[in-house]
Amino acid sequence: MTALRLSVENLLVSPNEAAFAEVIAEHVRVTTGRRASPSEVRSWQRSLPVLARDLADAGLRRVEMLVEYKLPLTSRRADVVLAGVHPRTGEDSYVVVELKQWSRAEPSELGEHLVIVDGMPGGEQLHPAEQVRRYCEYMCDFLGALNPNAVHGAAYPLVSESVCERSVFPLLDEQRDAYEYVRAAVNASKRGAPKEAVLIVGGPGTGKSVIAVELLGTLNRHGIRAVHATGSRSFTLTLRDNVEKVNRRAARSFSYFNSYTHATPHDIDVLICDEAHRLRETSDRRRHFDGPRRERSQVQELIEAAAVPVFLLDEHQLVRRGEVGSVRLIHDAANDMGVRVQQIDLRHQFRCGGCPEYVAWVEQLLGLGWEHGPQQWRPLETFELYVARTPADMEDFLRAKQGEGRTARMAAGFCWPWSDPLADGTLVEDVQIGDWRRPWNSRSEREKNGVPPSSLWATHPAGFGQIGCIYTAQGFEYDYAGVIFGEDLVWRGEGWQANRQANKDSQVNGAPRFGELVRNTYRVLATRGMSGAVLFSKDPETNHMFERLGIPLVSGRGSRGLR
């Protein structure tokens, strides 16, 4: 085969771009004998879903995509060749597409077909329009069956744009239903219909934040004032950081739940409250007040501030003392204010390899919402689960995945002290298990000596090697998740025991529902992985319980020869 054949439809319905990238990488290896570089893999993951979405929006869902098409009698490859039927002539039609993720290019004085690209090593580059023109000519010269009039070319720039300027993610099934319902509610509000709040409920990886970001972009592009709000500093700062690089004004669209204490009714058209399980009873954190205390709860402030308030939540992600967000809380607050609530439940899984079975298995393991306790692990086709006998084995496995171009992070329960960095910015290796030591992620909001700020730990390439916690992992995802269970949750006999003394988080260990919060914490950490997870418990009896459930062992320094 000279190209890998994919359909627009398949790319649209796939939740796992990484899996497609792996298939393409294997195709390149088989056809060329060369291993794809990590940058090529990342490019496929980022480019192909965007191209597929734009083709679908143009009514070209039935077009075939020939990816990494090898030109005849040469080692050169075109990024994509689109194959279909011309809408007017009915004849075969082909478009050669050169994908470029350049943000800016300038003409070069060395030649009319050369450009200088910001940040691109190697000097001048051939203008992509000229590159694709030459590809088209070459194909027509060496493939005699092709009608030259049927072959066209396009240089397709995939410039990074803010979520307020273009669509970012394809929405599927209940995601699309929820998205369309909110848009309909906005239109009804403009016509003077009674106020309505929209409540979108789903577990980890069901696409809540995808819906939130898509709504924000679409509504703002149509002149509707929409704002995104969360209770997560890391999540909000990461969104701001990525958007601010392209559009500083758009970065103002990201706020916090406690930003609406003094908002007037219907200050904004749509308020998108992401991770609404992190709602607090009140927005006022002070213990004393300069004036009369406001009687409104935080959820009432948010409902009142927008013509259409939207809440997205997962009740099993309550992990801190003081967080009160729940389905009942929102229903009760809205009813007290005379506001109708439309609830939409998301069921399809788009993280964890698209396997709701894995999420259900984790919830059963931790005794969350299921009658039955831990179940035997049954291997899944699209998600890998392992247990490590040492944290070094876990780290070796995840580092190998990083070397393959995948993303991986290690996170742990808050069971070790968390020291301030040294004077030169070096992080203290607080997480100690035997002779294995690693630092927590930085608490700083600034990068120093190559160490990423806390808000970017999950997404910055230098985040690997630092141990994240619930505060930096919640709301994010990576290909492979390493989860270190501390001694705040251990397995004894036939059940879990929660130990407050082992937990170092003052926000949690004094909470009345400590056991539930700790189990929720490990559920969140264990469901961050898109393709796989590795579990390890510092407590030997707990780790042995994982092995008894049939979870395969990773091989490494502490378990040589084992699988």
What is the residue-wise DSSP string for 396-434? HHHHHHHHTT--EEEEE-S-S--PPPPTTSPPP--EEET
388 in any annotated domain: yes
Look at residue 7 in the predicted model and tell me its pLDDT: 79
What Å distances lie between residue 196 and 187, 212, 227, 260, 273, CA to CA?
12, 17, 17, 19, 14
Are 302 and 258 in contact by the 8 Å Cβ rule? The answer is: no
pLDDT at 91: 87
In this structure, are 13 and 48 located in the same domain? yes
Computed over every residue of the chain, the mean pLDDT equals 83
**Residue range 407-411: average pLDDT?**
95
> Do you know the residue count of the chain?
563
* Positive or negative torsion for Cα 356, 357, 362, 365: positive
Give 273's contacts (C-beta < 8 A, 6+ positions apart): 229, 230, 257, 279, 302, 309, 310, 311, 312
Helix (H, G, I), strand (E, B) or coil at 6: strand
Report the sign of the C-alpha dihedral through residues 326, 518, 234, 16, in that order: negative
The answer for residues whose C-beta is within 8 angstroms of residue 105's C-beta and 6 or more apart is 115, 116, 117, 118, 125, 127
For the chain, the helix, strand and coil percentages under 3-state DSSP, each to the nearest 5: 35, 25, 40
Number of domains in the chain: 3
What are 168-223's pLDDT values in tens digits?
445 655 677 888 888 889 989 988 999 999 999 987 767 787 888 888 888 887 77
pLDDT, tens only, 471-524: 888 878 889 999 999 999 999 988 999 999 999 998 888 888 899 999 999 999
Please report which confidence band the pLDDT of residue 525 belongs to, taking 50, 70 and 90 as the band edges.
very high
Look at residue 166 and tell me if it is in a domain: no
Q: Considering the domain boundaries, does residue 107 fall inside one?
A: yes
By the 8 A CB rule, do 22 and 75 touch?
no
Give the mean model confidence (pLDDT) for residues 64-69.
89
Is 33 a domain residue? yes
Q: Which of 157, 184, 215 is the last residue of a domain?
A: 157
- CATH no. for residue 188? 3.40.50.300
* Among 302, 377, 393, 371, residue whose Cα is nearest residue 550: 377
CATH number for position 482: 3.40.50
| Residue 73 sits in the same domain as residue 112 | yes
Q: 200 and 85, same structural domain?
A: no
Sign of CA dihedral 77, 82, 84, 89: negative
Contact 368, 220 (CB under 8 A): no
Domain match, 85 and 198 both: no
Residue with token string 């229903």: 331
Ranges of H-type helices in 404-513? 470-473
- Looking at the structure, do residues 151 and 208 belong to the same domain, yes or no? no
Between residues 416 and 207, which one has the greater pLDDT?
416
State how far the Cα of 332 lies from the Cα of 311, in Å rounded to an integer.
14
Identify whether 451 is part of a domain: yes
Q: Is there a single domain that holds both residue 128 and residue 233?
A: no
- Note whether 217 and 81 are same-domain residues: no
CA angle 211/525/236 to nearest 5° reads: 45
Q: What is the pLDDT of residue 496?
A: 95
Query: Is the pLDDT confidence value at 120 over 70?
Result: no
On whether both 17 and 145 belong to a single domain, the answer is: yes
Whether residue 398 contacts residue 463, with contact meaning beta carbons closer than 8 Å, is answered with: no
Domain of residue 504: give its range.
352-548
Token readout for 258 is 């406690």
Phi, psi values for residue 9, rounded to 5°: -60, -45
**Same structural domain, 39 and 152:** yes
- Residue 561 in domain: no
Please give the angle made by the CA atoms of 335, 336 and 341, to the nearest 5 degrees: 20
- pLDDT above 90 covers a percentage of the chain that reads 36
Judge if 331 and 357 occupy the same domain.
no
Is residue 563 situated within a structural domain?
no
Q: Mark whether 330 and 368 lie in a shared domain.
A: no
* More confidently predicted of 561 and 68: 68
Residue 559 falls inside a structural domain: no
Q: How is residue 75 written in tokens? A: 């080692």
Angle at 82 between CA 79 and CA 85, to 5 degrees: 170
pLDDT value at 562 more than 50 = no
Stretch 271-280: mean pLDDT, rounded? Answer: 92
Q: Specify whether 10 is located in the same domain as 70.
A: yes
Residue in the block written with tokens 């890391």: 234
Where would I find the beta strands (DSSP E) of 247-289?
Answer: 254-256, 268-273
345, 365, 383: which is the final residue of a domain?
Answer: 345
Cβ proximity of 263 and 301 under 8 Å: yes
Give tens-digit pLDDT for 373-397: 899 999 988 899 999 999 999 999 9
